[in-house]
Amino acid sequence: MTKQKFNIQQEITDQIIAAIKAGCAPWRKPWTGGAGGAGLPQRHNGEPYRGINVLVLWSIAASNGYSSARWMTFKQAKDLGGAVRKGEKSSQVVYFAKAEIEDKANEGETKVIPFAKSYRVFNADQIDGLPEEFYTKPKPARDLGTERDPELDAFFAATGADIRHSDQPRAFYNIGGDFIHMPEANTFHDTNGYYATLAHELTHWTGADKRLDRFKRHSDRKAYAFEELVALS
């Protein structure tokens, strides 16, 4: 059996897509509460991540509801006195570096070869026992008094979609359960934001196999990008 070559770019792309599938992206968040104040993803020592790792870890944090900005390897967590909880899934990040090797074409000279290595990290919210400063308490949802519109509620109810609300500050369409989850309307900054978010998730809802069947016919990463464009249009 031929061993499949590991593709860092593909792995990182898959992580971003999985995060998008799990929920609403953080830059489209018109409601209060959640991990929005976590800031830039940081290494265990407080050094900020750069490049593609920022997008990767931001997306994963948003889809999983992580509040902490800190990320670390299993060993780093252990060295800090923490313990990764059983069953927690790590995330992959990329480290870019350069190596000097002998230039066989020019004897006595060296050439610089750039390369990328990957390693796996956990968010502090997946780890017990770390020092208190590693944890960021999620911002509570605020009651802004935003009211729902009865006519728009009737329109969305007429679609037959299973629309559920809770104090969880996330909006998403659950493919397996075939339902839409929404934060409470009064936690949104305005009524338009609430119904625009609901309409976005309802568009994903239309793609289920018993409706427009988009998910089976479009199952690769390009198709998921297309699916997001469909929902945004």
Q: Per residue in 30-55, pLDDT tens?
A: 888 875 545 689 999 999 998 888 88
Query: What is the pLDDT at residue 85?
Result: 95
- Tens of pLDDT along 60-99? 887 777 888 999 999 999 999 999 999 999 998 988 778 7
The alpha carbon of 211 is separated from its chain's Cα centroid by a whole number of angstroms, namely 26
CB-based contacts of 95, cutoff 8 Å, min separation 6: 116, 117, 118, 119
Query: What is the pLDDT at residue 40?
Result: 82
Taking all residues of the chain, what is their mean pLDDT, rounded to a whole number?
Answer: 82
Edge-first strand order for the sheet with 179-183 is 163-166, 179-183, 172-174
d(CA 169, CA 166): 8
Query: What is the pLDDT at residue 24?
Result: 45
* φ and ψ at residue 149, rounded to 5 degrees: -100, 120
d(CA 46, CA 125): 15
Phi-psi region for residue 26, left (φ > 0), alpha (ψ -120 to 50) or beta?
Answer: alpha
Domain residue extents for the chain: 1-30+34-138, 140-233
Share of the chain above pLDDT 70, in %: 77
- Specify whether the CB–CB gap between 219 and 15 falls below 8 A: no
DSSP H stretches of helix in the chain = 8-22, 52-64, 74-79, 150-158, 191-205, 214-217, 221-232
CB-based contacts of 201, cutoff 8 Å, min separation 6: 24, 171, 172, 173, 180, 181, 182, 231
User: Is the per-residue pLDDT at 127 higher than 60?
Assistant: yes
**Top-confidence residue, 228 or 12:** 12
> How is domain 140-233 classified at the CATH fold level?
Arc Repressor Mutant, subunit A (1.10.10)
Confidence of residue 100 (pLDDT cuts 50, 70, 90): confident
User: Is the per-residue pLDDT at 1 higher than 50?
Assistant: no
Query: What is the pLDDT at residue 37?
Result: 47
- Tens of pLDDT along 150-208? 999 999 999 999 999 998 888 888 888 899 999 999 999 999 999 999 999 999 999 88
d(CA 233, CA 229): 6
d(CA 209, CA 217): 9
